[in-house]
């Protein structure tokens, strides 16, 4: 009788036992190092309104995330140091988990969780996670007198989030994620590189777009640029950006073999703004001598005046319509001044006019000491376990110079044994006509995560990734993005708006 009862109970349990080990709500009592779980809540399918993503420097308005599948929402605060205050969220599909983890990156100085990107990953069936990088708000002010918080922003918040998200997934499903992916752009690109370099076991595949990197050099360039383009005698009103852009296209669009409004490789475009200098005075259709100088500075990489050593890169011809991002004024891009005010000089009153390229870059590098910068080209440990690195960057990026990604790609590939040896480990896709992580006139809608999954899980090395250009919700052009150094070349017949009429080939 007793035995029968036990057997019956066991049978009942085995029938009603959920397929996963824990309920969502029970995760609130999960014990993890340095972690307080502040929310563990089942969320039904539908809409959820949450703070927006902090893409550049200002947190955006709340976003309504639509058509979310049902999921378990976990929020936690991590304190790896006594001064740390790292907020993370981990979202776990209630059903249909694809078995993998996709973490999403941040923008600018972060200070906000990337809910929109989390929603996309959740849609695709992933467990996903994001962190606010250890402080609230999109400015660098938090760093003043908080070196541990700066380290959290630099790399620790992402690493800690990664460990905890994997542990939470394992507790929820009784099964750890099989593969882990990173997907980020801008600061998120830099975060991805940092993970590959510093915590090579965290991820199996890393998608790193337009990495804002090395950050000390990026900020130095942005301030140096401002010193040349913001003085009133040089200032270019936004109404003239299209004038310069048209002149650039007139000079360089057709030179790549196809007049399509895009410059396939802007580094081969030698446009001199002096060609549109006003004959005398000023007019809406030409540039004054000061404006010519400002435009030339946009296209010029800064160099140390004593050593001649290049400090960083420049925006490329074709980026003109986005120049307001750095050249609008009256102040430089605040992400850059914040770095010098709150990290380098630790003086909120520091005046950007006093920035000295020759001295202050070296000081910024020294103070950073590999905290935010992610320059290490040694990816041996990451690649040793099959890690794949997929880089991309818009050629018309007006905020982070595209050659920063080309440079990291080349340096890393050279360090790791050359292009042939690295062809199945590191790939770079440059995107003609795309702005900073999106936007611009070129085909700018593509799916790097699917390319990554095909690569990492199905052995299909990405050679060409089809990008779409969408106007008013309709695709009006498709074009292949090609693995660097290849570019898309028109076959010579068929619509120039259809990807199948292009081949990827090296043009130099
Ligand atoms: Ca062209």
Strand extents, DSSP E, 223-374: none
Residue pair 209/437 in contact by the 8 Å Cβ criterion: yes
Q: What is the pLDDT of residue 8?
A: 42
Distance from residue 269's CA to the centre of ligand 1 (Å): 11
Element at 403 (helix H, strand E):
helix 403-415
* Mean pLDDT on 312-318: 98
Residue 60 has pLDDT above 90, yes or no: no
Q: Show Cβ contacts of residue 404 under 8 Å, excluding neighbours closer than 6 positions.
A: 211, 213, 214, 217, 218, 312, 313, 393
Residue 188's beta-bridge partner residues?
none
Among the residues of 68-140, which ranges form H helices?
115-123
Q: Which of 146, 159, 436, 469 is catalytic?
A: 436
Joined tokens for residue 462: 């990405």
Q: Which of 84, 114, 397, 469 is catalytic?
A: 397
pLDDT tens-digit series, residues 143-200? 999 999 999 999 999 999 999 999 999 999 999 999 999 999 999 999 999 999 999 9
Indicate the pLDDT class of residue 19, thresholds 50, 70 and 90: low
- Identify the pLDDT of residue 297: 98
* Alpha-carbon dihedral angle through residues 339, 343, 348, 354, given to the nearest 10 degrees: -60
Under the banding of pLDDT at 50, 70 and 90, the label for residue 50 is confident
The average confidence (pLDDT) of the chain is 94
pLDDT tens for 337-384 read 999 999 999 999 999 999 999 999 999 999 999 999 999 999 999 999
Burial class (CB in 10 A: 0-12, 13-18, 19+), 69: middle
| Secondary structure in 3-state letters for 16-55 | HCCCCCCCCHHHHHCCCCCEEEEEEEEECCEEEEECCCCC
Q: CB within 5 A of ion ligand 1: which residues?
A: 253, 256, 258, 260, 262
Instruction: Compute the half-sphere exposure of residue 45: CA atoms within 13 Å on the CB side of its CA.
Output: 5
Question: What mean pLDDT comes out for the span 30-40?
Answer: 98
C-alpha 262 – ligand 1 centre gap (Å)? 4
CA of 263 relative to ligand 1 center, distance in Å: 5
Higher pLDDT residue, 461 or 56? Answer: 461
Instruction: Compute, in angstroms, the gap from residue 254 CA to the centroid of ligand 1.
Output: 5
- Average pLDDT of the segment spanning 84-91: 98
Q: How many residues belong to the chain?
A: 508
To the nearest 10°, report the CA torsion of 315, 319, 320, 325.
-70
Smallest Cα–Cα separation from 405: which of 342, 316, 294, 329? 316
Average pLDDT over residues 91-95: 97
Residue 507 confidence (pLDDT): 79
**The pLDDT of residue 42:** 97
pLDDT of 4: 44
What residues form DSSP beta bridges with 477?
A: 469
Active-site residue identified among 84, 186, 226, 319: 186
DSSP 275-318: GGB-SSS--TTSB-HHHHHHHHHHTS--B-TTT--B----PPTT
What is the predicted pLDDT for the residue at 14?
A: 39
- 497 catalytic? Reply is no
Lowest mean pLDDT among 7-21, 38-52, 77-91: 7-21
Regarding predicted confidence, which is higher, 235 or 21?
A: 235
Distance separating the N- and C-terminal Cα atoms of the chain: 85
**Is 186 one of the annotated active-site residues of the chain?**
yes
- pLDDT higher than threshold 90 for residue 321: yes
d(CA 189, CA 206): 9
Ligand 1 centroid to residue 490 C-alpha, Å? 10
At 152 the three-state DSSP class reads helix
In the sheet with 426-431, reading across from the earlier edge strand, the strands are 35-43, 71-78, 86-93, 127-131, 101-104, 180-185, 205-209, 388-394, 426-431
Return the pLDDT at 55: 52
CA 489 to ligand 1 centroid distance, Å: 10
Q: Is the pLDDT of residue 220 over 50?
A: yes
The answer on pLDDT for 73 being more than 70 is yes
Whether 469 sits among the annotated catalytic residues: the reply is no
- pLDDT of 15 reads 39
Residue whose tokens read 């790399």: 155
In the chain, what is the greatest distance between 2 CA atoms, to the nearest angstrom? 107
d(CA 89, CA 94): 15
What is the pLDDT at residue 61?
Answer: 74
Report the distance separating Cα 267 and Cα 141, nearest Å: 36
In this prediction, residue 508 carries a pLDDT of 59
What are the tens digits of pLDDT across the range 495-506?
999 999 999 999
Query: Cis peptide before 485, with omega less than 30 degrees from 0?
Result: yes
Q: Tell me phi and psi for residue 258, to 5 degrees.
A: -150, 120
Select from 300, 333, 298, 320 the least CA-distant residue to 239.
Answer: 320
Query: 257 CA distance to ligand 1 centroid (A)?
Result: 6
């Amino acid at each position: 009788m007793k035995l029968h009862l036990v057997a019956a109970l066991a049978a009942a349990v085995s029938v009603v036992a959920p397929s996963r080990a824990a309920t969502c709500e029970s995760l609130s009592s999960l014990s993890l190092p340095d972690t307080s779980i502040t929310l563990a809540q089942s969320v039904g399918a539908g809409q959820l309104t949450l703070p927006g993503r902090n893409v550049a420097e200002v947190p955006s308005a709340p976003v309504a995330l639509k058509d979310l599948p049902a999921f378990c929402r976990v929020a936690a605060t991590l304190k790896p140091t006594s001064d740390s205050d790292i907020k993370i969220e981990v979202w776990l599909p209630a059903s249909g988990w694809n078995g993998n983890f996709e973490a999403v990156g941040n923008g600018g100085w972060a200070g906000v969780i990337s809910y929109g990107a989390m929603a996309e990953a959740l849609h695709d069936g992933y467990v996903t996670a994001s962190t606010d990088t250890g402080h609230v708000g999109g400015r660098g002010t938090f760093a003043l007198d908080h070196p541990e918080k700066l380290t959290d922003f630099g790399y620790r918040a992402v690493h800690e989030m990664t460990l905890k998200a994997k542990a939470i997934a394992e507790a929820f499903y009784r099964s750890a994620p099989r593969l882990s992916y990173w997907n980020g752009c801008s600061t998120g690109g830099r975060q991805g590189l940092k993970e590959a370099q510093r915590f090579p076991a965290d991820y199996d595949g890393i998608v790193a777009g337009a990495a804002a990197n090395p950050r000390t050099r990026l900020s130095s360039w942005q301030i140096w640029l401002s010193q040349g383009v913001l003085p009133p005698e040089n200032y270019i009103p936004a109404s003239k950006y299209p004038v310069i852009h048209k002149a650039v296209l007139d000079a360089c669009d057709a030179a790549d073999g196809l007049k399509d409004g895009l410059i396939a490789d802007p580094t081969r475009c030698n446009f001199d703004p002096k060609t549109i200098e006003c004959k005398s005075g000023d007019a809406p259709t030409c540039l004054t001598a000061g404006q010519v100088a400002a435009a030339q500075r946009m296209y010029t990489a800064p160099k140390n005046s004593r050593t001649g050593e290049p400090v960083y890169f420049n925006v490329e011809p074709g980026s003109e319509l986005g120049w307001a991002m750095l050249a609008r004024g009256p102040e430089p891009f605040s992400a850059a001044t914040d770095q010098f005010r709150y990290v380098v000089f630790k003086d909120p009153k520091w005046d950007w006019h006093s920035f000295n390229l020759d001295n202050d870059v070296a000081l910024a590098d020294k103070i950073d000491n590999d905290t935010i910068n992610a320059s290490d080209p040694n990816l041996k440990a990451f690649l040793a376990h099959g890690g794949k690195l997929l880089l991309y960057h818009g050629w018309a990026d007006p905020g982070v110079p595209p050659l920063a990604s080309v440079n990291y790609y080349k340096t890393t590939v050279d360090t790791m044994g050359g292009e042939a040896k690295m062809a199945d480990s590191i790939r770079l896709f440059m995107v003609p006509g795309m702005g900073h992580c999106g936007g611009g006139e070129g085909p700018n809608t593509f799916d790097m995560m699917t390319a990554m999954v095909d690569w990492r899980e199905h052995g299909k090395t990405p050679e060409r990734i089809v990008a779409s250009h969408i106007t008013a919700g309709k695709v009006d052009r498709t074009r292949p993005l090609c693995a660097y150094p290849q570019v898309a070349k028109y076959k010579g017949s068929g619509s120039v708006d259809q990807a199948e009429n292009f081949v990827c080939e090296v043009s130099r």
